[in-house]
Amino acid sequence: MPTIQQLIRTNRKPCSNETKSPALSGCPQRRGICTRVYVVTPKKPNSALRKVARIKVTTGFEVTASIPGEKHNLQEHSIVLLRGGRVKDLPGVRYKIIRGTLDCAGVKNRRQGRSKYGVRIFNPSNPTGKKGPGPAKSLK
């Protein structure tokens, strides 16, 4: 606890709420363009080849973002949607790419947790997953 004399000398500093995802500049998601798609190895004790992309965000930042899920179709110049959220075993990766939006396809053959990976519900009668009338029926 400071003395009154100490408070007179220097005022109390307000708490600074520094954001963990500055490239989004207060928005929930931001669009960006892939400048490089590559793999990195995680920190100890984990071992893998994690898929990441370097992204030029519309706010002007260039950030590293994780590509979640199995396989992806991203390459240089792909347009993606970013969200916040770090990857614990990859240093410096503070953003994730949203699957199933813009140029990033959803994860194929995903049955559980589909909403997180941009996968529509599987319906054998409607394999494309698109809404609207089905194939035209022939009249007899």
The percent of the chain in helix, strand and coil, each rounded to the nearest 5, is 10, 25, 65
CA dist 29 and 83 (Å) reads 5
pLDDT (0 to 100) of residue 22: 94
Is domain 22-117 annotated with CATH 3.30.540.10? no
Domain map of the chain by residue range? 22-117
Give per-10-residue mean pLDDT for the chain (140 aa): 94 92 94 96 95 96 96 95 95 96 92 91 74 68
Q: How far is CA 111 from the centre of its chain?
A: 20
Task: Specify the pLDDT at position 136.
Answer: 65
**What confidence score (pLDDT) does residue 104 get?**
92
Q: Please state the pTM of the whole predicted model.
A: 0.79
Q: How much is the pLDDT for 105?
A: 93
